């Protein structure tokens, strides 16, 4: 729901450096032949390299026996079978292929998500109880509250659950067991607009078009490009923004 989101992970082409920070699925049992620190260290590097290279965009371009030969021969100081230039050229060529495929996959996802979102919102707009604002934001009142509506400059405390159109929950304060507080003008436009319609104690369901959420950039890895989002929001409290200090009176000029 917040405006900024982490960018997608860059393609890892250097195995050792990325291996040091990679998180791979944990093993259930420690192997008996990993008794010494060098064995454990070496196995960990190999496991992380394997995890990096198993990513869908990379895996099809990796031949494990050749990878092992390159590692063994380079580690042993043997003459390498490809020159520096040849190795650079093939890595560059494969990287370009991967980037081109990623761009094509992203373009397809942008259009697919847009089409699905447009259809969902068109069908949803005619359902009983669903209202649509001028911006295209849709909402339902699940429980009405009372009191003052928050302004965009106010700080609000809410419980919420966010999900994709397929029902996948990508974020939930309920799951974390506590509400969150934030300035209302520091979230996506659909939230800023929608929560201002609420009063303390109310619970609304918002259907937020991509243009009022994360747009074509999405919020990887959980929210794809052009994703329409569904939020259930319970407004718990409102902290009014401090009033701006009144300007000092102008000093009269002495004649």
**Which residues form the catalytic set?**
160, 170-171, 188, 214, 231
Q: Which of 204, 212, 213 shows the shortest CA–CA distance to 235?
A: 204
Structure-token pair, residue 201: 């104690």
- What is the phi-psi region of residue 10: left when phi exceeds 0, alpha when psi lies from -120 to 50, beta otherwise? beta
DSSP H helical segments within the chain, as ranges?
Answer: 15-19, 37-53, 56-59, 64-75, 84-125, 173-176, 189-195
Contact assessment for residue 213 and residue 140, using Cβ atoms and an 8 Å cutoff: no
* Cα(1)–Cα(65) distance, integer angstroms: 45
Cα–Cα distance list, 220 to 14, 101, 224, 230 (Å): 22, 17, 6, 17
CA dihedral (112, 117, 119, 122) in degrees, to 10, reads -160
């Amino acid at each position: 729901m917040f405006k900024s989101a982490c960018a997608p992970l860059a393609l890892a082409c250097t195995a050792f450096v990325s291996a040091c920070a990679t998180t791979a699925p944990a093993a259930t049992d420690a192997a008996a032949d990993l008794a010494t620190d060098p064995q454990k260290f070496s196995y960990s590097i190999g496991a992380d390299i394997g995890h990096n290279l198993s990513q869908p965009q990379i895996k099809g371009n990796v031949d494990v026996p050749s990878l092992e030969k390159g590692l063994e021969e380079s580690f042993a100081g043997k003459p390498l079978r490809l020159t520096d230039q040849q190795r650079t050229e093939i890595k560059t060529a494969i990287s370009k292929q991967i980037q081109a495929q990623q761009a094509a996959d992203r373009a397809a996802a942008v259009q697919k998500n847009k089409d699905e979102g447009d259809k969902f919102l068109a069908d949803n707009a005619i359902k009983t109880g669903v209202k649509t604002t001028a911006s295209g934001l849709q909402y339902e009142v699940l429980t009405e509250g009372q009191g003052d509506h928050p302004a965009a400059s106010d700080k609000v405390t809410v419980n919420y659950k966010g999900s994709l159109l397929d029902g996948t929950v990508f974020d939930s304060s309920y799951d974390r067991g506590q509400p969150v507080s934030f300035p209302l003008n520091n979230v996506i436009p659909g939230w800023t607009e929608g929560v201002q319609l609420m009063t303390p104690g109310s619970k609304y369901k918002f259907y937020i078009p991509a243009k009022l959420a994360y747009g074509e950039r999405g919020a990887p890895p959980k929210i794809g490009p052009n994703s329409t989002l569904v939020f259930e929001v319970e407004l718990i409290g409102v902290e009014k923004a401090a009033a701006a200090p009144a300007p000092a009176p102008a000093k009269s000029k002495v004649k």
